[in-house]
Structure 1
Amino acid sequence: MSARFVLALVWGALILPATVDAQTTRQQTNNTLFEQLKTVHALSAAQMQRLKTIFAGSSVMGQGNPAITRHPMTPEECKARISGGVGSYDNPRNTRICGNRFMAPLYDPRSESPDDAKACIDIFEFPNIPCTYPVVWTKAREAAEICAAVGKRLCDAHEWEGACAGALEPPDYFFGYGSVEAMRKVHNRKYAPTKRWAYGPSFQRGVCAQNSEKSATCGGGGYRSCGSNTYPTGAFPDCKSELGVYDQHGNAAEHMNLPMTPDQMASRGSRKLGVTEMKGSWFIWDKYRAHPDWCRWRAPYWHGSRVMSKESHENYHLGFRCCKTID
C-alpha cells in the first residue's frame, strides 16, 4: 500500500463528495468508512470483523442515505478551513492519557489536572476522525455495541455534559425521584442558572455545524425521504469546549446512557445500562431550534427505551460518540 493511499484513507480523501448520485450505495460508503477506521484507529482484524457484523445488522446505519443526502461541505473544504491542517487535532498529551487518538480527558480544571482524569471522551462524533461525516441512523444499542467493539463504551449523560460545559462534575442523577421526568426536572432546575454552551455563555449562530438544510421531502423522518445533510466533523474549529471536544452542538444529535439506578452507570463498569438520552442539537439549528441545547440540559424521555433494547430509536440526524474508562 503506498504512502499516498494511506494518507488518503487517514484524512478522508476517499469519502464521497458532498453530492452523491443514486447509484452510490450505503455499502460502498460504509466500506470506505471501514478502511478509514482500520487505518486511523489501528483497529485489529477482530475489531473490524465485529464492527462489520454490527453494521450488517442494520439496513440504514451509515453516513446518510446516499441517494438523497446532500452534505453542505466536502471533506476537502473542511481540511482547508482548519489552521494547521487536520494533523493539528492530534494531541500527544491526550493520546498518552487516553491511550487513543482524538480523545480528551474528562476532569474538572478548577481542582484537577488532565492526568487526574478517570475517563476520556471522543473529541468528534463517531467515527471520531476529523473531516469525516458522522455515522447516523444508529440505535442506542448499536452505539453501545460499536463503542465496545473499539475498546470503549457509551458515555453516561453527566460525562457528555461535563465535556461540553468544560468541567466534569460528580454524577447527579437524583435517583430517588423515581422517574425520568422527575429526575430531569430536578437536574435542569439545578443547572439552569449557570447554563452555557461549549463555546460560551449564550447561544450563537454561525459557530457550529448547524446551518444546513432539511431535505425538501423530509416529513416524517424516513430513510428514503430524509437526507443526513451533515457537515464533516471538526469543520468548525470554534465549536469546541474548554476540554477540547468538538461538535457537541450541531451536526448530529448523540445517544448517551441515562442511568436510572447507580448500577446502570457505564462509568462504573455497568453493562446493564439505563435509558436513552439524546444530547446536543443537529444540523439545522441556526434556522430552527426545536428544543434547548445548552450543555447540561436533559431532554424529556423522547422515544423512550432502554439503551440495550432492540427497539431503541434511530433517525437521520442521530449519532453518537464514545467514552473510555482509564486507570
Structure 2
Amino acid sequence: MKRCFAALQCILLAGILAGEACPQDVKSMVQLNEALFDQLQRVHHLTAKQMSAIRAIFAGSGYMGQGNPAITKHPVTAEQCEEKLAREAIRYENPAFEKICGAKYMAPLYNPAVQKPEDACNCIDQFEFPDIPCAYPVVWVRAKEAAELCEAMGKRLCDAHEWEGACAGALENPDYRFDLAAGQSPEAAIRLMRTAHNHKYGPSKSWSYGDACREEVCAGSSSKTPGCTGGSWSGCGSNTFPAGFFPQCHSPLMVYDLNGNAAEHMNLPLNEKQMASRGSREYGYTEMKGSWFIFDTQRAHEDWCRWRAPYWHGSRVMDKQSHHNYHLGFRCCKTLDRNKAESH
C-alpha cells in the first residue's frame, strides 16, 4: 500500500512539474512524505484506516508536504532541535493534558478565570500539523485538505475564536456578529464582522508570549528564498523551523508556535450552522491566523492573538480550490465527548 501511494504521488507531482517522468526533487518529496507518514503513525498511534485516509489526501494534492525540497532551506535541522531540547531538559509530553484531551500534544481550551483545564470541552493541537515536536509544519495545504486531515486524525479544523482563545490564554464565549452577516455577500459579511471584532479587541491586543510584540521569541528569524516575490512552488521555499524549537513561544494555555513559523488555516463561520465547535462539518469560510517565518524582519501583516485578517484568497473552507501556499499550514481542534455544544 505504501508503495502504491508513493508511486501515485510521484506521478501527480511529475505531472505538475512540467510532465517529467519523476524528477529527483519529486522523488525526494515523496521520500520525505513517507518519513512523515511513519512519524505520524508512530507518535499519534494512528490506525491503518487513518493512515490510508491521510495518504490519499496527500496523494491527491501533488504539493502538500514540508516544502519544496528543491529550494527549501530550513534554518535548523530536526536533529539540532532534538539536541537543543535534550540539552535544555525540555519535554513537551504532558500526561495531564493527554488524559484530558485523549490525544498526545493537545492542550485543553478553557478560561482560567472561571475554569480549570479539566473543565475543557475542546482541545487544540499544541503544534502545527503534524503536531510533533521538532517536525517541520506541513504547508502547501488547502483549507479543504486541512479539514480532511483533521477529520482523519479524529479531530476537526478549529473555529477562529478557538485559535484566538488558545493564543490569548482564555477561551471566551463565541462572539461572532452573525447579525452583521445577515443578508450580505460573504465578502461584505466578513468585512463587517472583522471590522467590529478588531475594533472590540484592538485596545487589548496581545501575542501568544505576552502583551507586547517582540522579536527573537518565536520562529520568525528565517528568510525568503532569494527572488521569491509571489508565492510560486518553484520560487518560494518553506524555510520553516522545527516545531517547538523556540520553547518560550507559547501561550498561557501552553500552545506553541502560534506566532511565527507557518500561518494557519482556521474556520470562520458566518452563521451558527457553520461552527465546527458546535458540530458542523460543512464549515464556513477561510480565515488565516498567526504569522510566519520572516516576521522578525518583515512584518507582512498584523498577528496579535484576536486579530482577524482580511478576506485574502478567501473561499469556503471546503472549496476544492481553497488557497494554499508556501508559508501556510494548520492545526486541529478536538471536541471532547463531554462537550455540551450549546454552552461552548
Q: 2:282, 2:271 → 1: CA distance?
A: 10
Q: 1:34, 1:87 → 2: CA distance?
A: 25
Q: Does 1:188 align with 2:198?
A: yes
Residue 80 of structure 1: how far off its partner (Å): 2.5
Q: Does 1:71 align with 2:74?
A: yes
The CA RMSD measured in Å over matched residues stands at 1.3
Q: 2:203, 2:238 → 1: CA distance?
A: 34
Q: What are the equivalent positions in structure 2 for 1:157-196 lying under 5 Å apart?
A: 157-178=160-181, 179-196=189-206
Q: What are the equivalent positions in structure 2 for 1:198-277 lying under 5 Å apart?
A: 198-277=208-287
Please list the CA deviations of residues 114-150 of structure 1 after superposition, one character each: whole Å capped at 9, or x if unmatched.
0110000000000000001000000000000000001
Whether the aligned pair in 2 keeps the contact of 1:86 and 1:130 (CA below 8 Å) is: no
Q: Structure 1 residues 118 and 189, CA, compared in 2 at 3 Å: closer, same or farther?
A: same
Residue 259 of structure 1: how far off its partner (Å): 0.2
TM-score (norm 2): 0.87
Please list the CA deviations of residues 253-306 of structure 1 after superposition, one character each: whole Å capped at 9, or x if unmatched.
000000000110000000111000000000000010011100000001110100
Q: Give 3-state SS (helix, strand or coil) of 2:149's partner.
A: helix
Q: Does 1:316 align with 2:326?
A: yes
Q: Give 3-state SS (helix, strand or coil) of 1:324's partner.
A: strand
Q: 2:45, 2:83 → 1: CA distance?
A: 25
**Counterpart for residue 102 of structure 2:** 99
Q: Does 1:33 align with 2:43?
A: no
**Counterpart for residue 47 of structure 1:** 50
Whether the aligned pair in 2 keeps the contact of 1:24 and 1:67 (CA below 8 Å) is: no
Q: Give 3-state SS (helix, strand or coil) of 2:53's partner.
A: helix
Unaligned runs of 5+ in 1: 1-20
Residue-pair matches, total? 307
Q: 2:330, 2:246 → 1: CA distance?
A: 18
Could you tell me which amino acid in structure 2 is paired with residue 28 of structure 1?
Q
Whether the aligned pair in 2 keeps the contact of 1:107 and 1:117 (CA below 8 Å) is: yes
**Counterpart for residue 88 of structure 1:** 91
Whether the aligned pair in 2 keeps the contact of 1:214 and 1:226 (CA below 8 Å) is: yes
- Identical amino acids, percent of aligned pairs: 61
Q: Does 1:297 align with 2:321?
A: no
**Structure having the larger proportion of residues in helix:** 2
Q: 2:121, 2:284 → 1: CA distance?
A: 21
Q: Which moved more, 1:314-323 or 1:77-86?
A: 77-86
Q: 2:56, 2:27 → 1: CA distance?
A: 21
Residue 81 of structure 1: how far off its partner (Å): 2.4
| Aligned with 1:109 (options 112, 123, 147) | 112
Whether the aligned pair in 2 keeps the contact of 1:137 and 1:315 (CA below 8 Å) is: yes
Residue 217 of structure 1: how far off its partner (Å): 2.8
Could you tell me which amino acid in structure 2 is paired with residue 292 of structure 1?
E
Q: 1:206, 1:45 → 2: CA distance?
A: 40
**Counterpart for residue 147 of structure 1:** 150
Unaligned runs of 5+ in 2: 1-23, 182-188, 339-344
**Counterpart for residue 18 of structure 2:** none
Structure 1 runs (4+) deviating above 3 angstroms are: 21-24, 83-87
Q: 2:83, 2:230 → 1: CA distance?
A: 35
Q: 2:120, 2:87 → 1: CA distance?
A: 27
Q: Give 3-state SS (helix, strand or coil) of 2:286's partner.
A: strand
Whether the aligned pair in 2 keeps the contact of 1:79 and 1:86 (CA below 8 Å) is: no
